[in-house]
Amino acid sequence: DGGITQSPKYLFRKEGQNVTLSCEQNLNHDAMYWYRQDPGQGLRLIYYSQIVNDFQKGDIAEGYSVSREKKESFPLTVTSAQKNPTAFYLCASSADKSSYNEQFFGPGTRLTVL
Amino acid sequence: SQQGEEDPQALSIQEGENATMNCSYKTSINNLQWYRQNSGRGLVHLILIRSNEREKHSGRLRVTLDTSKKSSSLLITASRAADTASYFCATDDSSVNNDMRFGAGTRLTVKP
């Protein structure tokens, strides 16, 4: 059963804490992405990775960090430097970063800062 | 920055009617994709249309692309209640490493 999974589904964080969101895929995809979605808005790119041990900033990378130590995994850390982290976070993957490839999305993690 | 902008923001129709959503974008593209999102879930790819194509069909979906007007439309024929979702267009931004740019989406409600 191939796909992309995210955990947890819901996450609550106190102000000032770092928190890590998990993203795993077994599609053998090279490229992975993290997006942020706010109510009534589209997706904004946080970070992407085209290959293991390499990643690039997207439009809104400030306050976030990522790692890509394994092909299957692309965790996102929301740091205390992110001023407004409450949002819906979506992870995606594609065969490679060619824009002709469809992106496969995980079910998302809803992060709430208390 | 968001490349695609969908219109209308929200659309409510009766089951059996057709639904048309539009997308406009700003820069040159290689392709345009449409995705669907059920409430609180991830996005699901529907269809991709290349810049040299004008129309594409997939089941009850029909997508058109007019590169001269920098616009695309998604038509869902004979809509069903299960089509209720948000629909997003996404374009590749050749000015930024072909990053995909998503619009804010059209929220479609199909009433039974």
On chain A, the residues whose CB falls within 8 A of the CB of B51 are none
Residue B107, strand partner residues:
B10, B86
B111 in contact with A, Cβ within 8 Å: no
Q: Is the peptide bond before B8 cis (omega within 30 degrees of 0)?
A: yes
Q: Using only C-alpha atoms, what is the Rg of chain A?
A: 13
In contact, B22 and B104? CB cutoff 8 Å: no
The 10s digit of each residue's pLDDT in B12-57 is 999 999 999 999 998 888 899 999 999 989 999 999 999 999 999 9
* Cα gap A71→A95, rounded to integer Å: 11
Containing H/E element for B22? strand B19-24
> Best residue in B49, B52, B102 to probe A by mutation, most A CBs within 10 Å?
B102
10-residue block means of pLDDT along chain A (114 residues)? 88 92 96 93 92 94 97 96 93 85 94 92
Q: What is the pLDDT of residue A52?
A: 94
Q: What is the pLDDT of residue A98?
A: 80
Q: What is the pLDDT of residue B2?
A: 52
Tokens of B3: 């490349």
CB-based contact B33 A41, cutoff 8 Å: no
* Cα gap B73→B6, rounded to integer Å: 9
Q: What is the pLDDT of residue A72?
A: 97
β-sheet with B55-58: strand ranges across? B5-7, B19-24, B71-76, B61-66, B55-58
CB-based contact B100 A45, cutoff 8 Å: yes
Q: What is the pLDDT of residue A97?
A: 77
CB-based contact A105 B99, cutoff 8 Å: no
On chain A, the residues whose CB falls within 8 A of the CB of B88 are 42-43
- The partner residue sitting opposite A102, judged by closest CB among B9, B30, B45, is B45
Q: What are phi and psi of B20, to 5 degrees?
A: -120, 125
CB-based contact B42 A40, cutoff 8 Å: no
- The partner residue sitting opposite B31, judged by closest CB among A42, A45, A99, is A99
B40 in contact with A, Cβ within 8 Å: yes
Q: Is the pLDDT of residue B3 over 70?
A: no
The 10s digit of each residue's pLDDT in B55-98 is 999 999 999 999 999 999 999 999 999 999 999 999 987 666 66
Count Cβ atoms below 10 Å from residue B62 Cβ, excluding itself. Answer: 17
